[in-house]
Chains A and B, each alone.
Chain A
Amino acid sequence: MSSIAKERAQASRAYLKAAVADGGGVRTSTSLLLLDSVAAIGFAAGLAGGVVAVPHGVGAMLPWVLLAGVSASGRGACAMLAAHVGAGGAYRAKTWLRRRIVEAALHRAPGSDATTGTLMSAAVDEVDAIDGYVARFLPARMAASIAPLIVLAATAVASPIAAAILVATFFPFLAAMILAGGAAADASRRQFVALARLSGLFADRIGALPVVLAFRAEGREAAALGDASEDLARRTMQVLRIAFLSSGALEFFAALSVALVAVYAGFNLLGLLPFPVPETLDLGRAFFVLALAPEFYAPMRRLASAYHDRQAAETAAERLADVESAKAAPPPAVPVWSGVAPTIRFDSVSIRYDGQDCAAVSDLSFEAYPGMIVALIGPSGSGKSSLLNLLLGIAPLSEGCITICTPSPLPEREGPGVGRLPHYPSSAAKIGQPTPNPSLSGRGEDAVLDLAEIGSIAPIAAWMGQSPLILAGTIGSNIALADPTASAERIAEVARVAGLSPMLLARGGLGAVIDARGSGLSGGERRRIALARALLKPAPVLLLDEPTAHIDADSEARLIEAIARACVRRTTIIATHSARLAAIADVVIDLGERP
């Protein structure tokens, strides 16, 4: 294995360790597994006692049988409780880790090349992959280092020589495990990688299915996939031949220890041992050590069967660590904003995402003035949404400069095109006119902020996109997300302005409950909720991303009217495909037509 791969494996192991550090439960679960070994000793003792008591009749056997019966049930209870406790630990570890991953995903650095799809599989499937690691592997590993010693001690009490036999089989076992196990682990790691590559191949071909179909190559591609699969199967079998050797060694020494203990105890009882031993066994002790012998290797067998869990978790940990490392640092400077509509100036702006050869937007310059609507149009992929995301720190500013000029909020500056917010005469006061404001030190002069320094204009922006966020709650609470302090009257007003009245009538008002899936809200209704939010937040900048996509022409016309009202006296930038929506703009910038 190359050193890079080894380093990666070590890094993912370290990450995994940290990630499940406060998963808890492992110790309790381990203790239960150790209790299981103790109960196994009880069962062996009960069985041995029962066999010894056979000549004395059933009455003499009963106490021993009772001991064995209770011990057997105890073993079952321990195993079951260990599963329960392990599941509890996995619950805590998974929910905790998932919170971290979701947080990292929502705060990912601008320009990270992670898509919603890869983030989703990290947050859901890869977090789930640590389940078995926490619930089974960790307790099994701790138990495997202690439980054999317990069994050994109990064996030694009855027969030190039998204990010595167990130890004697253990050393060659260890040697075999180090030899075969290392090779097996390496081989199975390669195997894991090969399987991942095959999955990747399937993903690639399914992703490109339209092309495969259009060129009528489905038969050829299926045959190629078949070859790749057969090849993988063949190589896997070669790997397994080695990998199973280590489990074969485990199996062999487990069987050998039983056989050696049985033969030794038998010869000792017969007094026919060819060499002198310092102990003379009786039936009870001999039977006890025989019944206990398989328990010596049982914890290691449990560990071996949980090995796959560890591998799955380590593979997942690698990707989870990537997601967490892509988390954005908090913005360097947090300015205090005024409530006055600013001028946003784009100066030779380029946006280039990580891992992309082409810039999404290159060398774009324009200015959006207060009270003005700028429409960005152009084919899909021409960077309309990227420009809006750029303002919120979600897309990376690769080149150029964006400045936000806030006019001083003095009364004489008010006039056409420059003004306070709609519907909210006291809005500036409400969002807090800062005193003193470091970025607005010279009162009466324009404050100029550089987006590269402040990271985002989110605090002064309202947003309406094509897939609005709908959280479980009521329609009112969903609108109130934009401003939790808003009064009920205010929410009702913006809902009316956004054109939600017919829907509210039908559903029974703002208190109508909606679930996380939106309870059958139509695309237009979701958009109106987003618009109501944008109206509710007293923000001087309004950003709209495809606000009228997915809805029919009539709804679009009505929505455009409402949007036009929302834009009054704000600085508005709209990304759209819709010619009708672009028609309300003062300036239209076609990103597709640019050279």
Chain B
Amino acid sequence: MTAFDTLIADERRRQRRGLWRAGGYAAIVATASVVLLGLSGWFITAAAVAGLAGTIAAQGFNYMLPSAGIRLLAILRTAGRYGERLASHDAAFGALARIRPALFLGLARGPSDHALALTQGEATARIVQDVAVVEAQFVRLSAVPGMIAALASGMVLCAFGGWRPAVALVLCLAGLLTFATLLARRLEAPGREVQRATGALKEAFAGVADAAAELRCYGVEAQAMAAVDANSRRLAEAQRAQACAAGWFEFVQAVALGMAGLATLLLAAPSGAPIAALCALAAVMTIDGAGPVLRSLAQRSSEREAVARLNDLLPDITEEGEQTACIVASSIGLLGTHLPPGTRVALVGASGTGKTTLVERLLGLRTVEPGTAFINGHDVATIPLAVRRATFGWAPQDAALLAGTIRDTLALGNPLSDDAVMWKALVDVALADVIEALPNGLDSWIGEHGVRLSGGERRRLALARAYLAPAPWLLLDEPTEGLDADTERRVAGRLSARLARTGQGLIMVSHRPAMVALCDRRIAVAPASDAIVAQPTDTLPQPRRYSRD
């Protein structure tokens, strides 16, 4: 059992009361439908027979009970359907509200190469769309109890006409399910082809969209569009094949419905017209009650594919949970240089030599070769990720702010910091006056729909976030890139004062003289020391990341 299967099974267990309720309502709906039509058929036919027999027979006919029953069943069916919908959706949403975060956590705790190699679009598509497919299947879990109840009540009603109609009904339903299962299997190939064609289309589109400049120069837009169009047609064709295969479900159900109705009518004929009518309409509604199961079967292949992809997403091996990693002071060994606690060091070197890569390796965001770096004399390759990450307060090169408020952003660095500490950090990055001017101060919303910070402000906010992290070392990647000289000078001065106060060490990637001047020493990251920099950041062959580029 894979990690995702376990997750689903757990949620099913947790939601079992809701699922049972949904199943119960589904059974009520199915039974009410079958009995409603069967009873109506019997009532009309029996009434006709009694009416023909004369006024006395007609007045002797007990019409109160059946007519009241018919009205009751109509209400029962409606109420049952409403209850079923609510209960099944409630269970599904309840389960899914936990599955999505669990997937996120699984992704985050898994091997970082795996998680970070996924493009944002892809990971989101899986967590949102594939989980929605699983959710729909959750909602359909009540289909089987409904079908069983329909069959049971259908058989009971058909039994009034003897055993033959009842057996015929069972055979019709069994035949229908057999055919539907075969059809579901036939849908698997088109389903896979749709997946493959979607992948090919995305790849073709990305290839062409990335080559916009080349297309312009050579005037080959038409050819490129033709190439994308070929893939587009392939995908549409696969989807058409899938839809056509799914259309057969409707056909087999309609045929089974007719067969069941007519076979029971003929077989129950010896019991008289009212019973035959009862059997025929009950049989028709029994087959109708299998509809949700058929729809579920039609979705089975896409559900399996979604689950398979989610299985891939959730690695089986996960890092042990968060450890309390409290490091008071630590020395670092980096590229053969020993850095005692509190040292300030600048990583310098031409662009593309792998400084950012080195930073990301320290943080365990990329796999690290043994011998690259040491914390307190231990090779980082052997140190748990939690300890490595607790050692550094990181300000990444792209500010990488999360959507949320300023307070949310800063709390990422240290969830325990209070307002005073946050303001102090904002002062140290020369941002306090900017934030004070915002209408909601620390609670101002940043990101797409809120106050928009400029690039330099984002960078400084990310820097403040790094300052707040209770880590013995600050790890700053181009912290003042894009700042004007005046702001940079203020940031540099306050950083120096801050370091003197906290005793933290500093490892900084920067080209800027004002920043490099803060440092006691420099370490040159050169392409020559190949273990670290053979493949600089932007030359590392990695999957395209579409969304944040």
Contacts and interface: CB of A to CB of B under 8 A. Distances in A.
B240 A77 contact: no
Nearest to A536: B218
Q: Which has the most chain A C-beta neighbours within 10 Å: B90, B101, B252?
A: B101
Contact of B104 (A206, A263, A516): A206
Q: Which has the most chain A C-beta neighbours within 10 Å: B74, B82, B469, B546?
A: B74
Contacts of B121: 117, 120-121, 203
A394 B212 CA distance: 8
Contacts of A212: 108, 402, 412
Given A50-B265, A205-B402, A236-B93, A287 B44 contact: yes
Contacts of B89: 236-237, 240
A233 B363 contact: no
B167 interface: no
A326 B188 CA distance: 39
17 contacts: A47-B280, A57-B269, A61-B265, A73-B254, A91-B237, A105-B205, A120-B206, A206-B118, A209-B116, A214-B392, A218-B104, A219-B321, A262-B70, A377-B351, A482-B217, A537-B217, A577-B352
Interface stretch (A138-146, A249-257, A444-452, A505-513): A249-257
A216 interface: yes
Contacts of A47: 261-262, 265, 280-281
A380 to B, nearest CB: 6
A259 B70 contact: yes
A229 B97 contact: yes
Interface string B387-415: 00110101010001111000000001101
Nearest to A577: B352
A106 B208 contact: yes
Q: Which has the most chain A C-beta neighbours within 10 Å: B67, B77, B254?
A: B254
Q: Which has the most chain B C-beta neighbours within 10 Å: A69, A107, A209, A245?
A: A209
Q: Which has the most chain B C-beta neighbours within 10 Å: A88, A105, A220, A469?
A: A469
A135 B243 contact: yes
B244 A229 contact: no
A394 B351 contact: no
B214 A465 contact: yes
A95 B233 contact: yes
A320 B277 CA distance: 54
A63 B539 CA distance: 78
A294 B273 CA distance: 21
Nearest to B458: A357
B254 A202 contact: no
Contact of A459 (B59, B214, B219, B401): B219
A251 B266 contact: no
A533 interface: yes
A577 B356 CA distance: 15
Interface stretch (A1-9, A13-21, A268-276, A409-417): A268-276
A225 B45 contact: no
B443 interface: no
B63 to A, nearest CB: 6
Interface in A241-286: 241, 244-245, 247-248, 251-252, 255-256, 258-259, 262-263, 265-267, 269-272, 282-283, 286
Contacts of A394: 212-213, 216
Contacts of B45: 51, 283, 287
A123 B546 CA distance: 14
B109 interface: yes
Interface in B339-384: 350-352, 360, 363-365
B47 A267 contact: yes
Given A206-B124, A226-B98, A251-B77, A123 B66 contact: no
A223 B415 CA distance: 13
Contacts of A263: 43, 67, 70-71
B50 interface: yes
A77 B248 CA distance: 9
Contacts of B476: none
Contacts of A106: 208-209, 212, 215, 221, 224-225
Interface stretch (B149-157, B195-203, B299-307, B515-523): B195-203
**Which 6 A-B pairs give the minimum distances between C-beta atoms?**
A72-B258, A117-B546, A76-B254, A83-B247, A262-B40, A87-B243
B3 to A, nearest CB: 15
Interface string A564-595: 00000000000001110000000000001101
Contact of B207 (A75, A245, A469): A469
Given A116-B549, A225-B101, A467-B211, A54 B120 contact: no
Interface in A339-358: 356-358
A121 B206 CA distance: 10
B142 interface: no
Interface string B60-85: 01010011001101110110011001
